[in-house]
Chains A and B, each alone.
Chain A
Amino acid sequence: MTAALFILFAGLAIGCAISMVVQRNPLYSAISLIGVFISLACLYVTLAAPFIAAVQVIVYAGAIMVLVVFVIMLLNVEDEERRPLRLRSLVPIAVMLAAVLFAEAVFIIFFVQTNPKTPAYTVSDIGMTSSIGGGLFTTYLLPFEITSILLLMAIVGAITLARTGGLLSTRAAVVPGAQVFPRELLDRQRHIDDLTPVATHSTREAEQLLGVEHDDDGDEQ
């Protein structure tokens, strides 16, 4: 029974993973990846780890993939176009490295196979929420605290990366000289189809383009 479930969900996971790599539309890739996550959650249940299975569904299939799909929709990603293969000379090396990786995996699998352990299918509290919480707050308290610091850093980093504040902050007094502006940054109100950037060659041109006026120079617009 468990073997049948394993084969079912393992096949589903591998099929969805291959589908994810083969798809050219990122949205289809994301949906395939959700299939992989759900299959893995089912495998966690058969491994007597219900808490990890629930967290897998909530955090991975729920939060992370919603974020990814949101970004795909936000950026309006189109399909990848087919392009000729670069670095064709490296293909034999790639095949050889893949063979080495496969051989290592086979070696490890058979190495484990010769030392079989009795699987834990008797009733135990290993995967239960209370035992995980107990371990998390006693033995592994330091990794837990480090993880919280990591999350804080991720929050600050994400806000820093996502914050635009416009092209110039409201208190900016100095306009840089020669540079290239994306057209949509210059005019946020209108929808612009032309996506070619605008180049300026002097500070004065950049000022005119951005609509920034100098106070100390009377004759400037």
Chain B
Amino acid sequence: MVPQLSWYLALSAVLFTIGVVGVMIKRNVISMFMCIELMLNAVNLTFVAFSSFFRDLSGQLFVFIVMTVAAAEAAVGLGIIIAIFRNRESLDVDDARSLKL
């Protein structure tokens, strides 16, 4: 038995949903950040699955670009998290009510 494309799409949907739920229920900024990374990975899985099943290279190239964006997001996002923590002594999103640092 060979895995069908729908299997990979279902797995990707499940992972994405878990990521969304994590962003919703987590109150720690770092945990929310990791859930966003999980959602990016779910989308990457869809790209690679389509690319492999349709024999098209474009999907994997876009996965590469998505990974670059994720790395940039990690650098800037963690910088913002550190700035928030330095000013508020807390990583709780409920404490960060105003955009002013």
Contacts and interface: CB of A to CB of B under 8 A. Distances in A.
A162 B82 contact: yes
B96 interface: no
A80 B67 CA distance: 29
Contacts of A64: 37, 70-71, 74
Contact of B75 (A94, A110, A158, A164): A158
Interface residues of B, number: 71
A64 B20 CA distance: 20
B51 A157 contact: no
A41 to B, nearest CB: 10
A147 B65 contact: yes
A178 interface: no
Contacts of A80: 26-28, 31
B30 A13 contact: no
A13 B53 contact: no
Contact of B61 (A60, A109, A135): A135
Interface of A: 2-3, 6, 10, 13-14, 17-18, 20-21, 26, 29-30, 33, 36-37, 40, 43-44, 46-49, 51-52, 55-56, 59-60, 63-64, 67-68, 71-72, 74-75, 77, 80, 83, 94, 98, 101-102, 105, 108-110, 112-113, 116-117, 119-121, 124, 126-127, 131-132, 135-136, 139-140, 143-144, 147, 150-151, 153-155, 157-158, 161-162, 164, 182, 195
Nearest to A58: B67
B11 A119 contact: no
A3 B35 CA distance: 27
A68 to B, nearest CB: 6
B53 A119 contact: yes
Interface in B13-71: 13-15, 17-22, 24-28, 30-31, 33-35, 37-38, 41, 44-45, 48-49, 51-58, 60-61, 63-65, 67-71
A24 to B, nearest CB: 9
Contacts of B61: 132, 135-136, 140, 143
A64 B38 CA distance: 12
8 contacts: A26-B34, A30-B34, A36-B41, A112-B5, A112-B6, A119-B52, A143-B61, A161-B79
Given A33-B37, A75-B85, A154-B72, A119 B48 contact: no
A130 to B, nearest CB: 11
Given A36-B41, A52-B60, A147-B69, 16 more contacts: A17-B19, A21-B22, A37-B41, A55-B67, A56-B67, A71-B82, A77-B91, A80-B26, A105-B17, A109-B13, A110-B6, A116-B4, A119-B52, A135-B58, A140-B58, A154-B72
Contact of A20 (B17, B38, B48): B38
A72 B34 CA distance: 11
A110 B13 CA distance: 13
A21 B72 contact: no
